[in-house]
Chain A
Amino acid sequence: MEKGGDYTHSIQIDRGKCIGCSHCMRVCSTQAIRIVEGYAVIQPERCVDCGECYRVCPQKAIYARDDGLAFMRDDAYKIALVPSVFIGQFPSDYSATEVLEAVKSCGFDEVCEVERAVDFMKEAYGTYADNHIARPVISSYCPAVVRLIQVLYPSLTPHIMLLKAPHDIAALYLRLSKEKQQDDPRKIFIYYVTPCAAKTVAARAPVGEAASPIDGTINMKEVYNKTVATLLGRKERGGRKHVADMSPDSVCWSLSGNEKHYFPGRSLAIDGMENVIEFLEKLESGHLSDIDFLELRACDQGCAGGILCPGNRFLTVERLEHRQKRLQMLKDQQGGEVDNRLMRYRQQLQPLSRVDPVHPRDGLLLDEDMEKALIKLQRIRRLMTYFPGFDCGACGAPSCRSLAEDIVQGKASISHCVFVQRVMEKNYKLSPDQAFVVIEKIWGRDRLNKYNDTNENEP
């Protein structure tokens, strides 16, 4: 697995493990995967890094590329930004303080919880609603959803909220507060411990901003393993903080159904890729009115269901809700006040929190030129009448439609369809040997050698 370096997608395929089984190809919402020469291949213009393929890969051949702990710079002042869902990976008898201390011992100089920025987001949502008339506003929180809209729902891009996500705000706050202190001459490096591939990409190749305030991302699983080892290996129990330094429900912001309460008006929360897609289809056709805000999360249960979260998503949700209650108790003891240091920087953060409008990606585009695109579409429709229409996937494309599209784009040929192949063989347009070569081009060499006629005679 590669670490560091340049990349614009986190989801990658490890050819050493991939057997071209096509499980990933079948679950991809944007039809971004094909099987070529026995391996899954991802089309970058369509991939939204949602990680659905990662979940289903039986070979564990799909991985989420990140910068990794090894990439950390020794000469820098290193800060780890840890999302609350990470703390929710541990049973509640471990305090947040203990978990964060253990993360720090992975080699960081400082650790900060991302959700500290939620109090800022809550305020920003109110102002945003006042200044933007177009409805509904779609949350920009989930980077996989933002990218899904860019690829599949181009006409909805103007609805995407033009605000940075909490982890970006938290990173900006850290920089502002460190600048003020200036007690350490080292350069600040901020690492985000990510629960998913999409957030890695958001830090690497952000949408709506030139560069992300995050310097690097580290896979949550990697940090989890180290943290567990530290927690198990220590001699005495760590402490527990007895102050509420952010509003209690902040810890649940990344789950489904909390964020939506902070946008004025009528709102709804939808989680899970399929549910999100179903809803966006409706929205794009203009079937909806009266909705002011949409909280959309690619993963079931929001970030608790992130592909890099090692624990059970439902347990994580329960633990975060439990922690919210505890924070509420502390807040009540403090006379209902919370002292969130980040909020002292709200004036400076405000102008930094905006992003530029999000533009569509052209992943679906047949051709820039309208006339050429029309001709291609005609051809696709004609090809569709030749194919069986039950999306068997034997051609290495997820559907008959995808194969037709690939053919007009010059990426596949009609003989890739096994049904068309039979007819071509019957009519002597294709020899059995040629048909063999075609299948091997899709499914890899020696794929067809597993069976030979003598096998049948064995007992």
Chain B
Amino acid sequence: MRLHFEIEGGDFTAAGRASSEVKKTLKQFHIAPEVLRKVAIALYEAEMNVVSHAWSGTMDAEILPDAIHVVMEDKGPGIENIERAMEEGFSTATEEVRQMGFGAGMGLPNIRKNSDRMVLTSTPGVGTRLEITVLFKA
């Protein structure tokens, strides 16, 4: 089963809508509370990344019997150095974004912590693609 969402860059008021919808859907399945929480956090962080950094993006979530597989694709500045971006505390967020309480440099590390598989690819100047898989059973 697939769910598709469009995400607008810079619209912080709407941020979290897509991840919230996915979370609501998953609540109807027999999934452990801890797993639900992992998915909710990973997807929220991923959505926030698109809103904070990119111009626009999409979230495609596929719910399988044993896992959820999510692909986030965005059009935006991309990531110059993925290894550095994965470091805790590293952030390129503007002062404006930080003042709103975002951009602490925990987004990507948090996604990694809350997912079972994470693949991040990016072309600077074009955009970023993030694949996340969370297994329903540990």
Task: List A residues at the B interface (Cβ < 8 Å).
Answer: 152, 154-158, 281-282, 284-287, 360, 362, 364-371, 373-374, 377-378, 381
- Determine whether the beta carbon of A370 is less than 8 Å from that of B28: no
Give Cα distance in the complex from A378 to B2, angstroms: 9
Give Cα distance in the complex from A156 to B41, angstroms: 13
- Determine whether the beta carbon of B34 is less than 8 Å from that of A155: yes
- Determine whether the beta carbon of A377 is less than 8 Å from that of B37: no
B19-34 interface mask toward A, CB cutoff 8 Å, 1 = contact, 0 = none? 1100101011110011
- Determine whether the beta carbon of A370 is less than 8 Å from that of B41: no
- Determine whether the beta carbon of A370 is less than 8 Å from that of B23: no
User: In the complex, how many angstroms separate the beta carbon of A5 from the nearest chain B beta carbon?
Assistant: 33
Which of B19, B25, B33 has the most chain A CB within a 10 Å cutoff?
A: B33
- Determine whether the beta carbon of A157 is less than 8 Å from that of B33: yes
Other-chain residue from A287, A362, A367, A377 in contact with B1 (beta carbon distance below 8 A): A377
Chain B residues contacting A152 (CB-CB under 8 Å) are: 27
Give Cα distance in the complex from A285 to B23, angstroms: 8
Q: From DSSP, what is the main secondary structure of chain B's interface residues?
A: helix
User: In the complex, how many angstroms separate the beta carbon of A208 from the nearest chain B beta carbon?
Assistant: 15
Chain B residues contacting A374 (CB-CB under 8 Å) are: 1, 29, 63, 65
Supposing A370-B136, A371-B65, A377-B1 touch, asked if A284 and B30 sit within 8 A by C-beta, the answer is: no
User: In the complex, how many angstroms separate the beta carbon of A219 from the nearest chain B beta carbon?
Assistant: 34
- Determine whether the beta carbon of A377 is less than 8 Å from that of B25: yes
Task: List B residues at the A interface (Cβ < 8 Å).
Answer: 1, 16, 19-20, 23, 25, 27-30, 33-34, 36-37, 40-41, 44-45, 63, 65-66, 136
Nearest B residue to A369 by beta-carbon distance?
A: B30
User: In the complex, how many angstroms separate the beta carbon of A78 from the nearest chain B beta carbon?
Assistant: 41
User: In the complex, how many angstroms separate the beta carbon of B10 from the nearest chain A beta carbon?
Assistant: 18
Chain A residues contacting B63 (CB-CB under 8 Å) are: 374, 377
Supposing A360-B33, A377-B1 touch, asked if A370 and B19 sit within 8 A by C-beta, the answer is: no
Nearest A residue to B19 by beta-carbon distance?
A: A285
Chain A residues contacting B23 (CB-CB under 8 Å) are: 284-285
A sample of 6 cross-chain residue pairs with beta-carbon separation below 8 angstroms, ordered by A number, consists of A154-B27, A155-B36, A284-B23, A284-B40, A285-B23, A286-B44
Which of A155, A365, A370 has the most chain B CB within a 10 Å cutoff?
A: A155
Give Cα distance in the complex from A342 to B135, angstroms: 50
Chain A residues contacting B41 (CB-CB under 8 Å) are: 285-286
User: In the complex, how many angstroms separate the beta carbon of B72 from the nearest chain A beta carbon?
Assistant: 16
Other-chain residue from B16, B28, B33, B44 in contact with A158 (beta carbon distance below 8 A): B33
Chain A residues contacting B36 (CB-CB under 8 Å) are: 154-155
- Determine whether the beta carbon of B33 is less than 8 Å from that of A155: yes
User: In the complex, how many angstroms separate the beta carbon of A329 from the nearest chain B beta carbon?
Assistant: 43
Nearest A residue to B65 by beta-carbon distance?
A: A370
Give Cα distance in the complex from A284 to B24, angstroms: 10
- Determine whether the beta carbon of A364 is less than 8 Å from that of B65: no
Chain A residues contacting B27 (CB-CB under 8 Å) are: 152, 154, 364
User: In the complex, how many angstroms separate the beta carbon of A297 from the nearest chain B beta carbon?
Assistant: 23
- Determine whether the beta carbon of B30 is less than 8 Å from that of A365: yes
